Amino acid sequence: MMNLHVALFSSILAIGSNAHPLGEPGRDKRHVIANLRRNSFAVRRQSTTVKLQNGTQPVFDAPLVHMEVQGLLGKYSMASDFLNGISLNPDTQPDTGYGPFNDTPILQYFANASKPSSLLTQPQPLSARDGGGGAAAGAEPILGLPDEPYASFELMPLTDDVAGGMDVSYYGPLKFGTPAQALTVSVDTGSADLWVPVACPGCSNAQFDAAASSTFRSTGRRASVTYGAGRVAGTVASDTVALGALSVDAQRFVAVRTESQDFMDYPSSGLLGLAFRSISRMDAPTFFEGLLAGRKLAAGIFSTHLTRGAEDGSQICFGCYDLTKTTGPVEWLNLTSKTYWTVAMDGLAAGKNRTEPLSIIAAVDTGSSLILVSDDVARQFYGLIPGAQDASATYGGGFYTYPCASPVTSSLVFSGRPYMIHQDDMNLGKLSDDSDDCVGGIIGISSDYGLPANLAIIGDVFLKSWYVTFDYAGSRLGLAPSINNR
Ligand SMILES: *[C@@H]1O[C@H](CO)[C@@H](O)[C@H](O)[C@H]1NC(C)=O
Ligand SMILES: *[C@@H]1O[C@H](CO)[C@@H](O)[C@H](O)[C@H]1NC(C)=O
Ligand SMILES: *[C@@H]1O[C@H](CO)[C@@H](O)[C@H](O)[C@H]1NC(C)=O
Ligand SMILES: *[C@@H]1O[C@H](CO)[C@@H](O)[C@H](O)[C@H]1NC(C)=O
C-alpha cells in the first residue's frame, strides 16, 4: 500500500526489457499493475487474518511486495539527478541556531547502566510524561531519563499498517487549518512534500475541508504528479499545520483534488515527507523544516520507533530522543547528502561473512518497507548465505530465497561495523505453506530501471531493528538498538 503513497511525487519509470517484478514484458503495464493491486488486496486481508489468528508465518505475499517495489522505482526515479546535483548544504538553512544533538546523557546513562554497582532509576515510560510543547530553555530533549525536565518536543503516535505478514506503512495524526481538523498522514523520510486530499470527489478517506479553515490559502499553482500506476493532481496551498502543541503557519502542501482509484483502500489520508527541501517537488520547506525555522523544537532532530507486527506502539519523537525505546547507546553516521537521508554503506554481511568493500549511498526511508540494492550487490550478498537461491524464475529478477531455518544474521555495514537486521524482518514469508524456503527482504534492482547503481534504499526491514535519530542540524543519523529486539 505504502508504495502508492511514497511514489506520489515521481514520474513513471521506464520499463526494462528483462524479467522484472512488474509482469511479462510486452503486456500493458497499467493492466499488469492493476491486477497486482487487486490480487494484493485479497491476499492482504487473508494474510492479516491468519497472522492475527495464530501467529503462523505467512506465505510470501508476492503481489504486495511487487507493488512495493514498483512504487519505490517510481519514487526514486529522480534519484540520479538529486544525488548528483545537490550538495550537502542546501542554500536554505532552517536549522540555523541549532547545533548537533547533545547525546552525552544517553552515553552516560548506558555507561552507568553497564556498571553493576550503579543504582540507576529505570527510564520512565512516555505515557507518564505525555508530550511537550512548553519550552524549557536549555533542557535536554531526552525522554525517559530520571527527573528529565519537560522540553519542546512532541510525540507523534504511529499506527502500523500490518498486512501480508509485513509492516507495510506507518501513519500518524496531523492537524490542518483553523480551527484545526485532524487527519492521518503516512510518514516518509524518503520524500519531502506534504499532501492531503481537499475537495477530492473520488477520494474515500477523510479529507481536509479547506473552506472551513480561515487560514487556508491556495497559490493556484497546479501540481500534478504521476507515480507508479496512476496520478494525483491538485494545487499548491498553505495553511497552519500542527502536531500536538507544535505548529507551523503557512505550511505549504499539495491540496490533492484527484486521486486515482488506487488510493481508495488506504488507511491514511495523506503523506508527510520528512526528507530535505532540496528534493521537494514543490520547492517548499518540509513540516519538520518549518518547525526548525520557527525554533519550535528543543533539538534539531526527530527519532523513529517502528514496531514489528503490532498496530500500536510506533512513534516519531519530534525534537526528542526516547530512551525507553532503546537498549543501548546511540552511534552516529555522517550524512553524505541532505537530499534523502543518505549515509555511506560499506557493504552487507551474512553472519561473519561480508561482501567485498562497497561504496553505496544508502537512503534511509521509513516510507519503504523493504531494502533495495542493485542486482549485483544482491547477488553478492545472497552468495554469502548457505542454501540461498535466485528466485527470479518465480518472482522476477532481484528476488532470492534462503532456508527459513537458517540462523544466519544479515547486517548492513556502516563505518566498518555491521548493523544487524532482525530475522523476522529479513523474512518476507515462506514460498508456500509446506516450503522450507523463505523470501529475503533485501531485493536486487536491475540497472534497466535507471536507479543509480550505487544507491540502496534502506526501509523498514532494517529500521525496525534500530531506534533511528535523524539529526538535521548535526548532518548525521543515529542508530541505537531497538527494544523490538529484546
Ligand atoms: C494456524 O491456523 C491454521 C489455519 O486455521 C492451522 O492450519 C494451523 O495448524 C494453525 N497453527 C497453529 C500453530 O496453531
Ligand atoms: C552517570 O554517571 C555520571 C558520572 O559518574 C553522572 O554525572 C551522570 O549523572 C550519570 N548519569 C545518569 C543518567 O545516571
Ligand atoms: C563526521 O562529521 C564530523 C563533523 O563534521 C567529523 O568531526 C567526524 O570526523 C566525521 N566522522 C567520520 C567518521 O567521518
Ligand atoms: C563464511 O566464511 C567462512 C570462513 O571464511 C567460510 O568457511 C564459509 O564457507 C563462508 N560461508 C559462505 C556462505 O561463504
Question: Of 461 and 141, which is predicted with more confidence?
Answer: 461
Q: Which atom of ligand 3 is nearest to the CA of 100?
A: 4
Higher per-residue confidence, 396 vs 347: 347
Task: Pick the ligand that lies closest to the CA of residue 57.
Answer: 1
Same domain, 437 and 290: no
- Which of 288, 319, 350 terminates a domain? The answer is 319
Q: Are residues 340 and 476 in the same domain?
A: yes
Residue 51 alpha carbon to ligand 1 centre in Å:
10
Instruction: State whether 355 and 458 are in the same domain.
Output: yes
- 307 and 329 within one domain: no
Residue 224 has pLDDT above 80, yes or no: no
Within a domain: residue 44?
Answer: no
**Closest Cα to residue 351, out of 382, 385, 380, 311?**
385
Whole-angstrom CA distances from 431 to 46, 362, 381, 459 are 16, 28, 20, 22
167 is a catalytic site residue: no
pLDDT-based confidence at residue 35 (cuts at 50, 70, 90): very low
pLDDT digits (tens, 9 = 90+) for 94-128: 998 899 999 998 998 888 877 765 555 667 655 43
Distance (Å, rounded) from C-alpha 152 to C-alpha 302? 12
Q: Which ligand is nearest to the CA of 471?
A: 3
Residue 12 lies in a domain: no
Residues 279 and 360 in one domain: no
Whether residues 448 and 471 share a domain: the answer is: yes
Q: How far apart are CA 473 and CA 302, in angstroms?
A: 11
**Lowest mean pLDDT, pick from 122-131, 414-423, 471-480:** 122-131
Q: Across residues 158-168, what is the average pLDDT?
A: 85
349 and 215 together in one domain = no
Residue at which a domain ends, from 319, 335, 354: 319
Find cell 550487490 and name the residue. 377
The whole-number pLDDT of residue 123 equals 72
The answer on 176 and 76 residing in a single domain is no
Q: Is residue 180 part of a domain?
A: yes
Residues 252 and 344 in one domain: no
Q: Which ligand is nearest to the CA of 406?
A: 4
Averaged pLDDT for residues 169-179: 96
Task: Summarize pLDDT for 130-140 with one digit per residue, the tens.
Answer: 454 444 444 56
Residues 160, 188, 239, 471: which is the catalytic one? Answer: 188
CA of 126 to the centre of ligand 2 (A): 21
Please list every protein residue whose CB sits less than 6 Å from any atom of ligand 1. Answer: 53-54, 56
Of 271, 304, 319, the residue at which a domain comes to its end is 319
All cell numbers assigned to 339: 537530499
Answer whether residue 447 is part of any domain: yes
Q: Separation of 438 CA from ligand 4 center, angstroms? A: 21
Tell me the CA distances in angstroms from 198 to 207, 212, 292, 311, 410, one per residue in order.
Answer: 6, 11, 26, 27, 43
pLDDT (average), residues 435-440? 92
- Averaged pLDDT, 313-332: 94
The pLDDT assigned to 140 comes to 60
Structural domain containing residue 272: 146-319
> Any idea what DSSP says for residue 8?
T
Sign of the alpha-carbon torsion through 127, 129, 135, 138: negative
State the average pLDDT over residues 27-54: 34
CATH code of 351's domain: 2.40.70.10
Same domain, 310 and 427: no
Span 280-293, pLDDT tens digits: 888 899 999 999 99
Residue 148 pLDDT class (50, 70, 90 cuts): low
- Say if 4 falls within a structural domain: no
Do 437 and 377 have their domain in common? yes
Query: Is residue 365 among the annotated active site residues?
Result: yes
Domain shared by 185 and 306, yes or no: yes
Q: Residue 46 above 80 pLDDT?
A: no
pLDDT tens per residue across span 327-337: 999 999 999 99
Confidence of residue 142 (pLDDT cuts 50, 70, 90): confident
Q: Is it the case that residue 9 has pLDDT exceeding 70?
A: no
Residues 372 and 443: their CA atoms lie apart, in Å, by 5
- Domain assignment of residue 114, yes or no: no
Among 346, 365, 425, 471, which one carries the catalytic annotation? Answer: 365
> Taking the CB of residue 105, how many other CB atoms lie within 10 A of it?
15
Ligand 2, atom 5: nearest CA belongs to which residue? 112
Domain total in the chain: 2
| Residues at CB less than 6 angstroms from ligand 2 | 108-109, 112, 120, 145
